[in-house]
Structure 1
Amino acid sequence: MSTTSPASDISRRDHSNAGSKGTVPPDADARRHRKNNKVVLKKKVTLLRGISIIIGTIIGAGIFISPKGILQHTGTVGMALVMWTACGVLSLFGALSYAELGTSIKKSGAHYTYILEAFGPLPAFVRVWVELIIIRPASTAVISLAFGQYILQPIFMPCGIPEIAIKFVTTIGITAIMYINSMSVSWTARLQIFLTFWKLAAILIIIIPGMVQLFRGETQHFNEAFHAKEVNLMGIPLAFYSGMYAYAGWFYMNFVTEEVDNPEKNIPLAICISMAVVTVGYVLTNVAYFVVMSPEELLASEAVAVTFAERLLGKFSVAVPILVALSCFGSMNGGIFAVARMFFVASREGHLPEILSMIHVRKHTPLPAVIVLYPLTVLMLFMSDIYSLLNFLSFARWLFIGLAVTGLVYMRYTRPNMPRPFKVPLFIPAFFAFTCLFIVALSLYSDPINTGIGFAITLTGIPAYYLFVVWDKKPKCFKRLMDSMTKTLQIILEVVPAEQHND
């Protein structure tokens, strides 16, 4: 007589059918739970979120506040519009090159990662060194100050805004961005989508009335559009910097490659859609400006979008500073979200302190890599020559982007069997890299002082590399101190090293 109960029979049947279709073994749920709760950066960047990261970071304050840099260095309305278009096309070439890199090298980090793969650790370290100590804190501080100024403008209008009030609100804005990026990838992405919508709305508010005026025959400022008293060839590199700075951001999705859902499809799609929208939007926005303002008036304006709105939109013009502020806030958010991943990857490679490669145990965000920028950025707010600092380092940004795309060409020959799900014609990266490096070289001639200072700052990365990375015979007391600091910060921030994917 069998002593087996019916429940035992059912249990045995369940286990015997564990491998059959439609039945999940008991330990599979546990494995799935462990996989879903791994301490890793999860794939939460969809196509829409990728587009919002790119558009939302490219469109900052520049197109609304001071698009006069290109006009100032080209001299004519026609050449200014040609330069805006050319910078858009050139940015598209760079973006397509990065689409190939991002689908071939499926690591986050963008410039840093691609230079590391192609040319080794020294140039990659110099790139992340300059980004960490100068470029990112300074550029975040600049866009944050614009946010503080324009969010307060409707309150203080028509009076001037006290500088202390701008810096106070700016600090609040930076703190809020850092907090959101530290707490949730989903919050950050949703905020970016929301802010991108308002950026595009702000551009349409300028383009549509401008086009209406143009079709009504307001074309007087386009007469003799290419006529200039003299042609200044040395102004071309500076006009290029102004234009490419306005388009800067097409590479931000490559900073978060490891978090992109279906990167082979979504990275190229997001890049192409975003660049088409931004290029058309920028060119038409500048056409709208020139419909309403003469070149002389545009150069004299402190905030072109506000001047435009006051002349054409009447009482509604008070909304423009708010939209500019939201645009700045979106650029801050997208920039911090993306660049924190560069620091995360550089730390993982041993080029930055170990703590920066750790992830919050519950939030699954690279918390230390996000907040490392906070003290440096706030410090930059109180530097009087912050704008000069950005001028010094414009060349460094494009030098390393040109180098990264040169790496694409180089790896076509040194690593021909590398999987390339998205592959661009070779002339596209070759032309982009040549243009970037040629303009960088020309800027050394046309603006030797500022470019030379930026070059000197960049070179400080070489001794830093040998001191912090190569030199492994550091005193034991120093190593104990660093280990102690790392453990203490781990406890305070509740972070641990990222687990490896085992897909």
Structure 2
Amino acid sequence: MIRKSASTCGDQVIANGQNSSRNEARSDLNGKQWDSDVPSGKVELRKKVTLLRGISIIIGTIIGAGIFISPKGILKHSGSVGMSLLVWIACGMLSLFGALSYAELGTCIKKSGGHYTYILEAFGPHMAFIRLWVDLIAIRPAGLAVISLAFGRYILEPLFMPCGIPPIAIKLATAIGITSVMYLNSMSVTWTARIQIFLTFSKLLAIAIIIVPGMYQLFKGETKNFDNAFEVNSVQLTGLPLAFYSGMYAYAGWFYLNFVTEEVDNPERTVPLAICISMAIVTTCYVLTNVAYFTVMSAEELLASTAVAVTFAEKLMGNFSMVVPVFVALSCFGSMNGCLFAFSRMFYVASREGHLPEVLSMIHVQRHTPLAAVIVLYPMTMFQLFVGDIYSLLNFMSFLRWLFIGIAVLGLIYLRYKKPELHRPFKVPLFFPIIFCFTCFFMVFLSLYSDPVNTGIGFAISLTGIPAYYIFIVFNRRPKWLQNALDSVNKFLQILLQVVPAEH
């Protein structure tokens, strides 16, 4: 990581051929039309995220594989069918409180970057850098690798049924999935958004395929699994905090639209509206999907199933159940696409603030995508996929996600008093961020209590961001030969990737 430095040589090299390369990209062989997806005008990130695209980003990243595969964590820890459904509803409401808090932050701080930007504005660069550091070295590549592994497994499932899938085949399919989503995000914002909308509708269709037959069974009178719905058997009510912990993870993803605020059309209206519509849809889908499961499966059968949606489909639809893994794979791909689209903007903004190499804040001269920020995670993600212990790393880092989200929302409360004059087009009751902050910090405490070893390791990894901040950011006096070498690398990457600083 280096602080920003002048790159005039690289800028000039690219600028000389910029106009001609754009014209070539626009012209077809007959000279009659040009590719409308190659933007014209200033080199910048365009406001292409409309309300529908914003909704697709939020829904597409929240709904992953979990609701189709194993929604049994909540049932296991809540102890009863009725209590598990209440937990699903309550977690949806708590997530809405957090999402509305982020809606206020996104409309008064109109910068992309999400958690990083809000912590930077409220608590300064040191805390923001630690969040960025943990994201860059561990959380984001591990998280992307895990959801991609689910994609690789379920896209191959119909080909290998009923046999097991070779692990190397899963990893190869996963690598292809990661590469394709990186390529898509590098080439076009428009097509990334269009495919995200298609994938979001696909996963909503998959949920509808579960909900509609389930509701039909319910109206037929299949309610035996709801008898004594609140009768707690072996699990004590002290397990409820763990049930909420699982539920909040199922709803995680409502914050991703805030990572791309600068690309949202009319953010003062679009951000709050997209968040409210998305959370209403997701909460309704989650609750009705779980109700549908219980019309066919008892609590014991659901806890015994390794893939709940597949078991549900086998009981009701026979051979049609083979389609379910395909829908799960599409759902995972949508989560991959939405996540990468969002957090690449965090690296873009962090580079603009001087916390990452300058090339990451540059835009492709033809495609108008932050190409370097999109592909920066590719080497680390592939390394963790084939070499690293991804699941252990996620265990180390799980509590840090809620810690920093809680700190970001705490920043909203702090800014209310630090900057009361700040223009707030959308303002939530202070009750919402207070309750949500309490929830986040309670989950952090729960992690410390239930798994002190892994949580402690994750906390230690995050502390490495403190010396990294002073080494890479504060103490920036480098030998001239080293600075020249870094500048040369930056210029080489700029020319290789065909990126230039954004025009403002």
Runs of 5+ consecutive residues of structure 1 not aligned to the other structure = 1-34
- 1:403 alignment counterpart: 407
Q: Does 1:109 align with 2:145?
A: no
Q: Displacement, 1:470?
A: 1.1
How does 1:345-364 map onto structure 2 within 5 Å? Answer: 345-364=349-368
- 2:17 alignment counterpart: none
For residue 240 of structure 1, the aligned residue among 238, 244, 253 is 244
Distance 2:460 2:240 in 1: 23
How does 1:318-467 map onto structure 2 within 5 Å? Answer: 318-383=322-387, 385-467=389-471
**Further displaced range: 114-123 or 77-86:** 77-86
Q: Stretches of 4+ moved more than 6 A in 1? A: none
**Further displaced range: 228-237 or 489-498:** 228-237
Tell me, what secondary structure is at the counterpart of 2:330? helix
Partner amino acid, structure 1, of 2:502: A
Tell me, what secondary structure is at the counterpart of 2:89? helix
TM-score, length of structure 1 as denominator length: 0.90
C-alpha distance after superposition, 1:51-98 (max 9, x if no partner)? 111111111111111111222222222222121111110110011001
C-alpha distance after superposition, 1:2-32 (max 9, x if no partner)? xxxxxxxxxxxxxxxxxxxxxxxxxxxxxxx
Q: Displacement, 1:146?
A: 0.8
Partner amino acid, structure 2, of 1:334: G
Distance 2:131 2:237 in 1: 29
Distance 2:302 2:113 in 1: 38
- Does the 8 Å CA contact 1:115/1:403 hold for their aligned counterparts? yes
Q: Displacement, 1:224?
A: 2.5
Q: Displacement, 1:383?
A: 4.2
Distance 1:258 1:384 in 2: 34
Tell me, what secondary structure is at the counterpart of 2:500? strand
For residue 188 of structure 2, the aligned residue among 184, 188, 198 is 184
- 2:32 alignment counterpart: none
Distance 2:468 2:76 in 1: 38
Q: Does 1:193 align with 2:183?
A: no
- 2:153 alignment counterpart: 149
- 2:136 alignment counterpart: 132
- Does the 8 Å CA contact 1:138/1:389 hold for their aligned counterparts? yes
Partner amino acid, structure 2, of 1:215: F
Tell me, what secondary structure is at the counterpart of 2:47? coil
For residue 81 of structure 1, the aligned residue among 82, 85, 91 is 85
- 2:217 alignment counterpart: 213
Runs of 5+ consecutive residues of structure 2 not aligned to the other structure = 1-38
Q: Displacement, 1:454?
A: 1.6
Partner amino acid, structure 1, of 2:140: R
- 1:9 alignment counterpart: none
Distance 2:488 2:284 in 1: 53
Q: Displacement, 1:440?
A: 1.1
Tell me, what secondary structure is at the counterpart of 2:421? coil
- 1:15 alignment counterpart: none
- Does the 8 Å CA contact 1:97/1:424 hold for their aligned counterparts? yes
Distance change >3 Å, CA 219–CA 383, structure 1 → 2: farther
- Does the 8 Å CA contact 1:237/1:443 hold for their aligned counterparts? no
Q: Displacement, 1:36?
A: 5.6
C-alpha distance after superposition, 1:348-382 (max 9, x if no partner)? 10111111111101110000000011111111212
Partner amino acid, structure 1, of 2:188: S
- 1:158 alignment counterpart: 162
Distance 2:326 2:250 in 1: 20
- 1:289 alignment counterpart: 293
Q: Displacement, 1:232?
A: 4.4
How does 1:45-56 map onto structure 2 within 5 Å? Answer: 45-56=49-60
C-alpha distance after superposition, 1:87-129 (max 9, x if no partner)? 1101100110011110000000010000000000111111111
For residue 308 of structure 1, the aligned residue among 300, 312, 327 is 312
Partner amino acid, structure 2, of 1:157: M
For residue 123 of structure 1, the aligned residue among 116, 124, 127 is 127
Partner amino acid, structure 2, of 1:194: F
Q: Displacement, 1:237?
A: 4.1
Partner amino acid, structure 2, of 1:489: L
Distance 1:415 1:384 in 2: 44
- 2:3 alignment counterpart: none
Q: Displacement, 1:230?
A: 4.9
- Does the 8 Å CA contact 1:234/1:446 hold for their aligned counterparts? no
C-alpha distance after superposition, 1:205-229 (max 9, x if no partner)? 0111111112222222222222224
Partner amino acid, structure 1, of 2:299: P
**Further displaced range: 238-247 or 423-432:** 238-247
C-alpha distance after superposition, 1:205-262 (max 9, x if no partner)? 0111111112222222222222224554664443333212211111111000000000
Partner amino acid, structure 1, of 2:214: G
Tell me, what secondary structure is at the counterpart of 1:359? strand
Partner amino acid, structure 1, of 2:401: R
- Does the 8 Å CA contact 1:39/1:499 hold for their aligned counterparts? yes
How does 1:92-103 map onto structure 2 within 5 Å? Answer: 92-103=96-107
Distance 1:499 1:413 in 2: 34
Tell me, what secondary structure is at the counterpart of 1:363? coil
Q: Displacement, 1:296?
A: 2.1
- Does the 8 Å CA contact 1:346/1:352 hold for their aligned counterparts? yes
Distance 1:67 1:392 in 2: 22
Partner amino acid, structure 2, of 1:116: L
Tell me, what secondary structure is at the counterpart of 1:103? helix
- Across the aligned residues of Structure 1 and Structure 2, the Cα RMSD in angstroms comes to 1.5
- 2:15 alignment counterpart: none
Q: Does 1:91 align with 2:119?
A: no
Partner amino acid, structure 2, of 1:259: E
- Does the 8 Å CA contact 2:254/2:275 hold for their aligned counterparts? yes
Distance 1:62 1:435 in 2: 21
Distance 1:154 1:219 in 2: 32
C-alpha distance after superposition, 1:22-51 (max 9, x if no partner)? xxxxxxxxxxxxx96111101010011101
- Which structure: larger Rg? 1
Tell me, what secondary structure is at the counterpart of 2:453? helix
Distance change >3 Å, CA 456–CA 232, structure 1 → 2: farther
Distance 1:477 1:240 in 2: 54
- Does the 8 Å CA contact 2:113/2:347 hold for their aligned counterparts? yes
- Paired positions, count: 466
Distance 1:192 1:320 in 2: 19
Q: Displacement, 1:474?
A: 2.7
Q: Displacement, 1:451?
A: 1.6
C-alpha distance after superposition, 1:280-323 (max 9, x if no partner)? 00011111112212222222211111111111111211111111
Partner amino acid, structure 1, of 2:481: C
For residue 47 of structure 2, the aligned residue among 33, 39, 43 is 43
